[in-house]
Amino acid sequence: MARTVWFPGHMAKGKRQLEALAKNIDLILEVRDARAPSLSSSPLLSIFAPKIKIWTILSKADLADPNITKMWTEHLNSKGLQTWPLDLRKGGLKQIRKELTEKKPTFRDLRMAVVGIPNVGKSMLINQLVGRKAALVGGIPGITKGVSWFRGEGFLLVDSPGILDPHTDARAHRIISWIGSTRGQVIGNWEEHAKECISFLIKRNLWQGVELAWGIKPEGTPAEILENVGRRLGKLLPGGIVDIDLSGKMFIDAFATGKLGKMSLEKPGDPPLWESL
Ligand SMILES: Nc1nc2c(ncn2[C@@H]2O[C@H](COP(=O)(O)OP(=O)(O)OP(=O)(O)O)[C@@H](O)[C@H]2O)c(=O)[nH]1
Ligand SMILES: [Mg+2]
């Protein structure tokens, strides 16, 4: 029987470790995925004192619709969260570094915690800020397993494991798997995930990227469309039958890594995404 959410032991441990050091933090860097900034917000912010300032990093901005990212940036800024949309692979953190220098206390380093759900780019942000490959980065969620400190010029940063809220609606966890932030296979099978994602994209008028990438039209049932994806990608079993499970995985992986074009799943003020599943 498939579990509905993914909350392995290292998340519970990471949360306890962060709670233990929360009172030593001057600034929180919360990393969210620019394609779904509300869905990908961290469930951990409540462990920090409310007076601690939060900066929001909208990572993977290169995979999101730039106009919608601009709307999010304005929206989050207006809520008092200083917001930075970034392609963390490229850098562009000069302004952040400058502002961090201005925030440094006189007699000690500035202490920051980097928090966020899995696979949003927390460790990559740390590497960009310290200017070297210090933290382990990887394309699957659950790479960072514990809390560790890194030193930059005038600041200390704590990296933490990606942590999900196990109490969030199971449908939210399914969408989180589309952006690569939970282990999809833990919460369902690839075929079902892909079919749900296909019907969501068609319903939301977000199919153009798939058509451009693979020349597949949004015609037929999600099952038929997924079969077309499998044929297009050559994912065939002996006898020419499409390997539907593998095709589903390929579809979700391509979506998560931006191969199906720039896509934003939600706008500020939208009802929770999972309600439309
Ligand atoms: N396209 C794109 N990819 C990014 C960006 N930031 C991170 N990535 C990719 O996202 C994946 C996850 O990056 P990590 O830094 O390991 O993410 P994390 O949040 O530390 O992940 P966990 O430790 O598993 O929670 C890697 O494959 C990165 O190359 C970005 O801004 N744009
Ligand atoms: Mg990490």
What end-to-end distance do the CA atoms of the chain give, in Å? 21
* Residues 86/64, Cβ–Cβ less than 8 Å: no
Domains and CATH numbers, the chain: 9-159 (3.40.50.300), 189-276 (1.10.1580)
> pLDDT 10s digit of each residue in the chain, 277 long?
445 678 888 899 999 999 999 999 999 999 999 999 999 999 999 999 999 999 999 999 999 999 999 999 999 999 999 999 999 999 989 999 999 999 999 999 999 999 999 999 999 999 999 999 999 999 889 999 999 999 999 999 999 999 999 888 889 999 999 999 998 777 778 999 999 999 999 999 999 999 999 999 999 999 999 999 999 999 999 999 999 999 999 999 999 999 999 999 999 999 999 888 8
Report the residue among 41, 114, 119 best suited for mutation to probe ligand 1: largest number of ligand atoms under 8 A from its CB.
Answer: 119
Chain-centre distance of CA 31, in angstroms? 8
- Ligand 1 contact via 245 beta carbon (within 6 Å): no
pTM for the full predicted model: 0.95
Which of the ligands is closest to the CA of residue 33? 1
Q: From the CA of 99, how far away is ligand 2's center (Å)?
A: 24
Report the residue among 84, 124, 129 best suited for mutation to probe ligand 1: largest number of ligand atoms under 8 A from its CB.
Answer: 124
- Backbone conformation region of residue 92, classed left if phi is above 0, alpha if psi is from -120 to 50, else beta: left
Bridge partners, residue 157, by sequence? 112, 150
